[in-house]
Structure 1
């Protein structure tokens, strides 16, 4: 036993000092190089870099390509789900209680919902779950009500331009989609454009069209906008909005009249 250990130490010393490699080490290296050479010959259509990362019969290039296709497919599915007018996720109250405390969020049309969670974390939030409700609506689940309320305060202070609405979940937030007309009162002339009305409408649903009655000067300050909404009850809201450098008071009421020409409200 002592002789074998002595021979092993001699071989190790030779390898360390550059005096040569032991027979066992040489055989092992030849075997490994031979296996790599065989794999390389089997996959000789790829580059050397590809062949060095062969795994489960696929080259690195094939694996990366497959991952990109799967990622692209997932993004397309998410985009279709998030832009749909109908409700995708419709939890009942028991389900919400089990999940945690929920916040109802409305975002702008161009908001990247895949990056929404990252923005929450950046502002100090730690949501348990984020679900798309269809259109511009998102459900954010927190562990506690105090955490959710503190985050709502942070959002208002930060002034995130991508967030239109962020508040605690209310009954009726996830009803079936319906089409309705809104009367938007006291609209200033500089804001009389579809872009402005879209920003107003997105607070309540998805903008569909503007019923323009510029021929009647009496109605210049009243815009009639059709939207698709998930609100179960008639919409009636008052809020302030900044246009240019001036703050305006805007009133929005759902219209039930059908006396206007051209299919208007």
Structure 2
């Protein structure tokens, strides 16, 4: 699919969380569209390998930054990128689940640092540059869990609710200044992060989508929709969550998720 982002935003995109899942697929499809890439993730070997593979396959320039976005030095390393970034894709994320009081507090702090603080800081840094140019785009990656109460995913859902509200607010601010903002809010996706949750997803009424399909839908709608929810069933869930009384909705979700999680996490 031809997105023509090179003409719309400029020749370089920066993608965090670029070595797996949705972030990896977004990077792949941007390269296929002719965008040069700066890839950001924690694991250097995977980054180096992915960077070289994408460059060879799509004949684009690639660079990579090894950065732990739960740390301020990791975020600052990304801010020092030399390339003129026209499209920022904030796909990096952490997920914790289980009874909130049982989860290690440091793990929850790291989740907030990655999902909230690094997202805000990088959006702030690159939006400044984009506004000065009068063009650019920011694609946030949130979650369907952020659009509703999600017992046993409380901190994760709260962090993604921040991303959704933050992104929608920035859309209103930045659109008149020439900068597109969209928020991808996927449901269950076949990613390494979803596989590691410990949840028996067969007990949950969500249909898992392939990450390449989610990435394609995100890029197809980038700058055209504010919140992008891939899949009709997910769209219905998001719409229904706004209409269902919150007490009832959270009771229903708690019953579903408690049946899908191991007893040790409840």
Please, what TM-score do these two structures have when normalized by structure 2? Answer: 0.24
Structure with more helix by fraction: 2
Select the structure of larger CA radius of gyration.
Answer: 1
Answer 1 or 2: higher relative contact order, Cα 8 Å, separation at least 6. Answer: 2
Structure with more strand by fraction: 1
Please, what TM-score do these two structures have when normalized by structure 1? Answer: 0.24
